[in-house]
Structures are given as structure tokens and as C-alpha cells.
Amino acid sequence: MQNLITISKDIQSGTPVFFNTRVPIKNLFDYLKGGDSMDVFLKDFPSVNRNQALKVLEFAENVVTLNGIVND
């Protein structure tokens, strides 16, 4: 995760961002929840590459499945 997400009070007031960018991770989830594709997100935030975005989604999936969160 060290080269994936940065959390620093000096960057976006501590909001988690993609490594080496100022793009909040939440933006990716907001785009996807809003029905936009990964391609639209990447076009709007060119400092984030596809591999970074996919790894963040994979990380989120692992957190959810490892914690046993179930949809009721």
C-alpha cells in the first residue's frame, strides 16, 4: 500500500490520495458509483494510471472480503 495511497496532512489535508498525485481515492469511488466508467475517471484525472486505480479497487475488495462484510 505504501506506493499506492498517500495520507499526509500536507496533501489535501490528510485525505487519502493516489500515490504521487493530489487526486483523492474517494473520487474513483464517486465516479464508479455515479455510473461513470474507469476510462472516464482516468481521462478526467490523467495523473492516475489504470494500474493504480485497479490496485486501489483490489485493495478495497480485499478489505471488504477479509472483514467478512456480507450484504443482507
Residue range 29-50, pLDDT digits in tens: 999 999 999 999 999 999 999 9
d(CA 28, CA 53): 8
Domain boundaries, the chain: 5-66
For 35, the grid coordinates are 455510473
Tell me which CATH code domain 5-66 carries: 1.10.10.10
User: Per-residue confidence at 64, pLDDT binned at 50, 70, 90?
Assistant: confident
SS3 60: helix
Contact 18, 5 (CB under 8 A): yes
Average pLDDT rounded to a whole number, residues 6-15: 94
Q: Positive or negative CA dihedral for 50, 56, 60, 66?
A: positive
Q: Positive or negative CA dihedral for 45, 47, 50, 54?
A: negative
- Which pLDDT score, from 0 to 100, does residue 67 have? 62
